[in-house]
């Protein structure tokens, strides 16, 4: 395996259809902005890209078949390069990065583009839309009536029972996230909010409130990756990919995903995420104690408290104390989501895995401005997607 480097990243600021940020831009236009920025950042010309790994979307572009990478290549100029369109729900951006990383590490290509972009439909994310008794999503909706946010509020309620977490503490995660977003020009929301603002926002699914759950957004992100040898032609300070991993859930997982699951003694609720992160630690020989900061998938504030414990970044039940002591802010001892996270960006589903790579790169280069993690040396990124998909990546300088 060869060492792989990130030499350029770019992003289109996240927004909502019709607003002043993304307006009516297509996913192709959003991706173009992100890719142009990443190429410029790397000092690489489009014709030097040997292959493309793209996140597949079922919501926008991709000719209705998730061929989003082909859209990008046609737009930038059809050079005949191989395109890999990766589908893994909200983990697709992370999957695309992993495929790019694996290809370059394995010596198949020397320089690749990794890209993810999304224009989201309005409202809650709809599931399959299939109305058949053989479809578990349909059964859950028709027989029980369980909309998406209920899944997250079930987890939040359990944490309140196990650790005494308060609604104010969930709210404090959002306050912390939005404080970071003030310093992120790519965030959709860039205004700080108070604890009172969060507590006054309506319940979407008790105990979780509107400002504690990420909305859907439009946005795009891109990264140029290459072998360490090629990187030296473009920069004296490449960011090194220590590892990139993909995992799926295991049978003993106790997360309530369908109508019913066999009860096991597995304490972990997101085995796919734990498997991806644990595998990243093992492959890179980098441990939780070596991580300078983490970008994790905070669809809701609950995850900022639960995930660090499940991965060994801190002890079980310790997250609330660390949060309240300010240790999860960029200048704390365990910075989480210095970008502002999904709560500040909104989720442009398949762009998120690449969005995290961009933030890790800016942080490790020391280019993160007012949200900079001081002396950031090693960053951890993690995504989670429908179907029991997860990815992790560790970048270092």
Partner 1 sequence: MSEERVPCVEGLFSEENGVAVLHGSKCSNCQTPYFPRSAACHNPDCDDSNMEDFDFGGKGVLWSYSVADFPPPPPHKFDQPFVPYVMGVVDLDCGLRLIAQMVEKPEEVKVDAQVQLIIDTLYHEDGKALTTWKFKQI
What's the CA gap between 18 and 295, in Å, rounded? 28
Name every residue whose Cβ is closer than 8 Å to that of residue 235 and which is 6 or more positions away in sequence.
Answer: 7, 42, 43
Residue of 77, 161, 185, 375 interacting with partner 1 (CB under 8 A) = 161
Instruction: Give me the least distance between CB of 1 and partner 1, in Å please.
Output: 28
Residue of 1, 108, 124, 324 interacting with partner 1 (CB under 8 A) = 124
Binding mask of the shown chain, residues 81 to 120, with x at each position contacting partner 1 by CB under 8 A: ----------------------------------------
Give yes or no for residue 386 binding partner 1 (CB under 8 A).
Answer: no
Q: Which is nearer to partner 1, 126 or 233 (CB)?
A: 126
Instruction: Give me the least distance between CB of 138 and partner 1, in Å please.
Output: 6
What's the CA gap between 135 and 156, in Å, rounded? 27
What's the CA gap between 334 and 188, in Å, rounded? 24
Instruction: Give me the least distance between CB of 251 and partner 1, in Å please.
Output: 6
Residue of 32, 140, 176, 188 interacting with partner 1 (CB under 8 A) = 140
Residue of 17, 26, 102, 141 interacting with partner 1 (CB under 8 A) = 141
Instruction: Give me the least distance between CB of 267 and partner 1, in Å please.
Output: 13
Instruction: Give me the least distance between CB of 178 and partner 1, in Å please.
Output: 22
Instruction: Give me the least distance between CB of 123 and partner 1, in Å please.
Output: 7
What's the CA gap between 327 and 341, in Å, rounded? 16
Q: Which is nearer to partner 1, 205 or 227 (CB)?
A: 205
Asked if 224 and 6 touch (Cβ cutoff 8 Å), the reply is yes
Q: Which is nearer to partner 1, 300 or 339 (CB)?
A: 300
What's the CA gap between 71 and 92, in Å, rounded? 16
Provide the phi-psi class of 61: left if phi over 0, else alpha when psi is between -120 and 50, else beta. left
Count CB atoms within 10 A of the CB of residue 223. Answer: 36
Identify the three-state secondary structure at position 227.
Answer: strand
How many residues bind partner 1, per CB under 8 A? 41
Name every residue whose Cβ is closer than 8 Å to that of residue 328 and which is 6 or more positions away in sequence.
Answer: 173, 176, 304, 319, 322, 334, 335, 336
Identify the three-state secondary structure at position 99.
Answer: helix
Residue of 79, 126, 200, 333 interacting with partner 1 (CB under 8 A) = 126
Give yes or no for residue 146 binding partner 1 (CB under 8 A).
Answer: yes
Q: Binding to partner 1 (CB under 8 A): which residues in 193-232?
A: 202-206
Quick one: which of 73, 1, 10, 6 has its CA closest to 230? 6
In this chain, which stretch among 6-14, 138-146, 241-249, 364-372 interacts with partner 1, using CB under 8 A?
138-146
Q: Which is nearer to partner 1, 259 or 325 (CB)?
A: 259
What's the CA gap between 219 and 57, in Å, rounded? 12
What's the CA gap between 236 and 54, in Å, rounded? 27
Location of structure tokens 């995504």 = 383
Q: Binding to partner 1 (CB under 8 A): which residues in 258-287?
A: 259-263
Q: Which residues bind partner 1 (CB under 8 A)?
A: 123-124, 126, 129, 131, 133, 136, 138-147, 149-155, 157-158, 160-161, 202-206, 251, 254, 256, 259-263
């Amino acid at each position: 395996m060869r060492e792989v480097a990130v030499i350029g990243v770019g992003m289109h600021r996240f927004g909502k259809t019709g607003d002043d940020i993304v307006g009516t831009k297509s996913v192709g236009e959003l991706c173009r902005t992100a890719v142009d920025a990443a190429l410029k950042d790397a000092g690489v010309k489009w014709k030097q890209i040997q292959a493309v790994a793209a996140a597949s979307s079922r919501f926008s572009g991709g000719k209705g078949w998730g061929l989003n990478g082909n859209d990008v290549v046609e737009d930038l100029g059809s050079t005949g390069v191989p395109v890999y369109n990766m589908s893994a729900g909200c983990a697709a951006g992370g999957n695309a990065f992993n495929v790019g990383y694996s290809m370059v590490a394995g010596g198949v290509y020397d320089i690749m583009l990794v890209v993810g972009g999304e224009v989201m439909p309005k409202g809650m994310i709809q599931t399959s839309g299939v109305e058949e008794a053989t479809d578990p999503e349909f059964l859950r909706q028709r027989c029980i009536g369980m909309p998406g946010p209920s899944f997250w509020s079930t987890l939040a309620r359990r944490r309140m029972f196990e650790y005494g977490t308060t609604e104010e503490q969930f709210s404090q995660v959002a306050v912390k996230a939005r404080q970071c977003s003030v310093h992120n020009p790519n965030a959709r929301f860039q205004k700080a909010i108070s604890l009172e603002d969060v507590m006054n926002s309506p319940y979407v699914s008790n105990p979780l409130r509107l400002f504690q759950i990420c909305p859907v957004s439009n946005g795009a992100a891109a990264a140029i990756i290459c072998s360490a040898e090629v990187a030296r032609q473009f920069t004296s300070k490449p960011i090194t990919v220590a590892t990139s991993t993909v995992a799926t859930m295991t049978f003993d997982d106790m997360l309530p995903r369908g109508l019913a699951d066999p009860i096991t003694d597995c304490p972990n609720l997101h085995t796919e995420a734990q498997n991806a992160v644990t595998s990243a630690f093992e492959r890179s020989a980098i441990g939780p104690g070596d991580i300078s900061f983490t970008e994790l998938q905070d669809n809701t504030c609950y995850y900022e408290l639960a995930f660090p414990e499940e991965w060994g970044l801190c002890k079980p039940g310790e997250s609330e104390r660390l949060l309240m002591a300010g240790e999860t802010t960029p200048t704390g001892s365990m910075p989480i989501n210095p970008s502002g996270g999904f709560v500040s960006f909104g989720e442009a589903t398949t762009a998120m895995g690449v969005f995290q790579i961009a933030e890790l790169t800016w942080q490790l280069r020391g280019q993160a401005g007012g949200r900079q993690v001081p002396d950031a040396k090693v960053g951890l990124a993690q995504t989670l997607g429908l179907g029991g998909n997860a990815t992790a990546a560790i970048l270092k300088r």
